[in-house]
C-alpha cells in the first residue's frame, strides 16, 4: 500500500491514509478531503506543478505562504500550522523546502478532475489557464487547460465530440446516450466565428447552447472530456505517463442513473491500470463499493458486477468485470469533530464507532428513516392487536 500521513494541516489533525487501486474519501464538507487530494498531486508531481505555475507567470518568491495561496487557492496559506508534518511512503515531506527550491520537471503522473469542473467551460468552450485569477486553485486551472488542449488539438476539425466510435466502449456510450444526453449529440459549433460546444439532435441544425443545457449536462461534459483525456483512442490504454487519477465528487448534478454510468467509467479507468482516488457525498458510490467487496469475499462470478450497473454482458464488459475483481479498495472517513481519519474499508453496518455503521454519514438518513418507519409499523400492529 502507498501511504500518506498528515498531521495538523488545515482541518486535518491526523490522517493515516493507505491507497489501494481505488481509494474513496467520505465525510462532511470542509473536513480536508480536497486538501489531502491536492496534497497528493503536489507530492507526486512536484516538479511538474512548479513548472506549470512558472510557465504561466505565477511567482511565489520562494515563500511558503505565497506558494500555498497559489497552489491551493487564495486564503489557503493558513492551512500550514505550527507542528504541521507530512510523510509520504514513510519519508518526511518538507513543504517549506518545496516552496523554496525548484524541483526538476518530470512527466506528469497524476491527473486531477476537480469538484469545480463546471468552471472549466465559459459560454460552452474550455477556458485557458490564464483566464482564471491568480487566487483560483491550481487544480482547477490546470484541468481547464487540459480540456482546451484536448478540444483544440486532438479533435481538430472534427465537429462531433459525443458519441464517437473511437472514444469509450460502445456499451458505455450507449448508457451515456440514454442517461445523460437523452439521444442528443455533443458537437462543436460556430457562433459569429466563435467556437462553442452545443447539444443537438443527430443530423439536425438545431443546437442547444451551453446556457440552456441541464445542470447535469453542464456538470458532466467537462467530466466526459476528462475521461477522453485519460482514454486515448489508441491501442495504448493510458495517457502518457499518468498513473493516478483524482476525481472529486463525481456525482455533482447527476441523476442516480447517470451516477451509475460514471461509476462504470471509473471501473474502466481501473481496468486500464490507473489508480483512482474519489471524494464523494453520494451513498450510491459506497453502495457500489460495499457490493463489490461482498461479491469478492463470496467468490461470485465477475460478470455479476455488471448486474449492479445494469450493463450489457458482452465480452468486453465481462473482461472489465474480471479485472475489477482483482482490485483493492480502501475507504476513509474524515471526521469533522476530531479532525482525524478512520479506515472504514470494511463498510461494516454493525460497527458502532462513528463513521463505520453510517458509512461516513452517507447512510445515516436512510437508517433513521428505516428505524422510524419500523417503529411506526410496530406501534400500529400493536394497536391493532389490542
In tens, the pLDDT along 164-222 reads 888 899 999 999 999 999 888 998 887 777 888 999 887 666 788 999 999 999 999 99
Give the three-state DSSP class for 85: strand
The answer to whether 247 and 276 are in contact (CB under 8 A) is yes
Closest CA to 33 of 375, 300, 368, 280: 280
pLDDT of residue 352: 60
Average pLDDT, the chain: 90
pLDDT of residue 150: 92
pLDDT tens-digit series, residues 58-101: 999 999 999 999 999 999 999 999 899 999 999 999 999 999 98
pLDDT at 316 over 80: yes
Percent of the chain at pLDDT exceeding 90: 74
pLDDT of residue 366: 61
Percentages of the chain per state (helix, strand, coil), in multiples of 5: 40, 20, 35
How sure is the predictor about 373, in pLDDT bands with cuts at 50, 70 and 90?
A: low
Q: Where are the alpha helices (DSSP H) in 101-149?
A: 138-149
pLDDT of residue 348: 79
pLDDT of residue 19: 98
Instruction: Give me the sign of the Cα torsion angle 150, 153, 154, 160.
Output: positive
**Distance in angstroms (rounded) separating the CA atoms of residues 224 and 254:** 13
Report in angstroms the alpha-carbon separations of 85 from 31, 45, 296, 337.
17, 19, 37, 20
DSSP letter at 153?
A: I
Say how many C-beta atoms besides its own lie within 10 A of residue 151's C-beta: 19
Mean pLDDT of 268-280: 97
Among the CATH numbers 3.40.50, 1.10.20, 3.30.70, 3.40.1130, which is that of 2-153+224-347? Answer: 3.40.50
How sure is the predictor about 370, in pLDDT bands with cuts at 50, 70 and 90?
A: low
**Distance in angstroms (rounded) separating the CA atoms of residues 205 and 214:** 20
**Distance in angstroms (rounded) separating the CA atoms of residues 359 and 343:** 11
Quick one: cell of 86? 507530512
Is 217 buried (19+), middle (13-18) or exposed (0-12) by CB count in 10 A? buried
How sure is the predictor about 156, in pLDDT bands with cuts at 50, 70 and 90?
A: low
pLDDT of residue 164: 86
pLDDT of residue 359: 61
Report in angstroms the alpha-carbon separations of 333 from 272, 294, 338, 344.
27, 20, 12, 7
pLDDT of residue 225: 96
DSSP letter at 205?
A: S
pLDDT at 264 over 70: yes
Q: What are the backbone angles phi and psi of residue 156, rounded to the nearest 5°?
A: 55, -125
What secondary structure does DSSP assign to 217-268, as a single string? HHHHHHHHHHHHHHS-SSS-SS-TT--EEEEE-TTTT--HHHHHHHHHHHHH
How sure is the predictor about 358, in pLDDT bands with cuts at 50, 70 and 90?
A: low
DSSP letter at 24?
A: E
pLDDT at 306 over 70: yes
**Distance in angstroms (rounded) separating the CA atoms of residues 184 and 222:** 16
Beta bridge partners of residue 361, listed in sequence order: none
Contacts of 335 (CB under 8 A, 6+ apart): 27, 31, 341, 342, 354, 355
DSSP letter at 79?
A: G
The answer to whether 304 and 295 are in contact (CB under 8 A) is yes
pLDDT of residue 168: 93
pLDDT of residue 355: 60
Q: What does the domain layout of the chain look like in residue ranges?
A: 2-153+224-347
How sure is the predictor about 353, in pLDDT bands with cuts at 50, 70 and 90?
A: low
Give the three-state DSSP class for 169: coil
pLDDT of residue 106: 86
Is 371 buried (19+), middle (13-18) or exposed (0-12) by CB count in 10 A? exposed
Q: Cell 453496518 sits at which residue?
A: 349
Pairing of strands 329-334, 125-126: unpaired
DSSP letter at 70?
A: H
Amino acid at each position: 500500500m502507498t501511504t500518506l500521513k498528515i498531521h495538523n494541516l488545515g482541518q486535518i489533525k491526523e490522517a493515516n491514509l493507505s491507497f489501494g487501486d481505488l481509494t474513496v474519501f467520505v465525510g462532511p464538507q470542509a473536513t480536508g478531503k480536497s486538501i489531502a487530494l491536492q496534497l497528493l498531486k503536489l507530492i507526486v508531481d512536484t516538479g511538474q506543478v512548479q513548472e506549470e505555475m512558472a510557465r504561466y507567470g505565477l511567482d511565489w518568491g520562494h515563500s511558503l505562504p505565497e506558494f500555498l495561496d497559489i497552489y491551493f487557492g487564495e486564503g489557503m496559506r493558513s492551512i500550514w500550522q505550527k507542528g504541521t508534518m507530512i510523510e509520504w511512503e514513510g519519508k518526511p515531506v518538507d513543504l517549506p523546502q518545496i516552496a523554496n527550491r525548484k524541483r526538476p520537471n518530470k512527466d506528469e503522473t497524476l491527473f486531477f478532475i476537480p469538484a469545480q469542473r463546471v468552471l472549466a467551460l465559459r459560454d460552452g468552450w474550455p477556458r485557458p489557464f490564464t483566464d482564471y485569477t491568480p487566487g483560483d486553485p491550481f487544480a482547477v486551472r490546470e484541468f481547464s487547460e487540459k480540456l482546451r488542449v484536448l478540444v483544440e488539438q486532438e479533435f481538430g476539425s472534427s465537429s462531433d465530440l459525443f458519441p464517437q466510435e473511437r472514444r469509450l466502449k460502445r456499451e458505455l456510450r450507449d448508457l451515456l446516450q440514454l442517461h445523460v444526453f437523452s439521444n442528443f449529440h455533443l458537437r462543436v459549433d460556430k457562433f459569429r466565428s466563435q467556437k462553442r460546444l452545443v447539444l443537438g439532435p443527430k443530423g439536425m441544425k438545431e443546437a442547444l447552447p451551453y446556457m440552456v443545457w441541464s445542470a447535469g449536462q453542464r456538470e458532466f461534459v467537462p467530466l466526459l472530456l476528462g475521461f477522453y483525456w485519460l482514454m486515448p483512442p489508441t491501442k495504448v490504454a493510458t495517457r502518457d505517463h499518468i498513473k493516478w487519477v483524482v476525481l472529486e465528487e463525481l456525482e455533482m448534478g447527476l441523476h442516480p442513473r447517470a451516477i451509475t454510468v460514471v461509476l462504470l467509467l471509473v471501473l474502466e479507468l481501473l481496468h486500464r491500470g490507473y489508480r483512482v482516488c474519489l471524494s464523494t457525498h453520494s451513498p450510491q458510490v459506497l453502495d457500489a463499493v460495499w457490493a463489490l467487496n461482498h461479491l469478492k469475499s463470496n467468490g461470485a462470478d465477475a460478470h455479476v458486477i455488471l448486474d449492479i450497473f445494469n450493463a450489457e454482458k458482452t465480452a468486453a464488459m465481462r473482461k472489465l468485470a474480471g479485472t475489477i475483481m482483482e482490485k483493492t479498495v480502501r475507504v476513509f472517513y474524515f471526521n469533522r469533530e476530531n479532525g482525524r481519519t478512520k479506515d472504514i474499508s470494511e463498510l461494516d453496518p454493525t460497527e458502532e464507532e462513528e463513521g463505520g455503521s453510517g458509512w461516513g454519514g452517507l447512510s445515516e438518513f436512510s437508517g433513521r428513516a428505516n428505524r422510524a418507519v419500523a417503529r411506526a409499523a410496530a406501534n400500529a400492529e400493536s394497536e391493532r392487536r389490542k
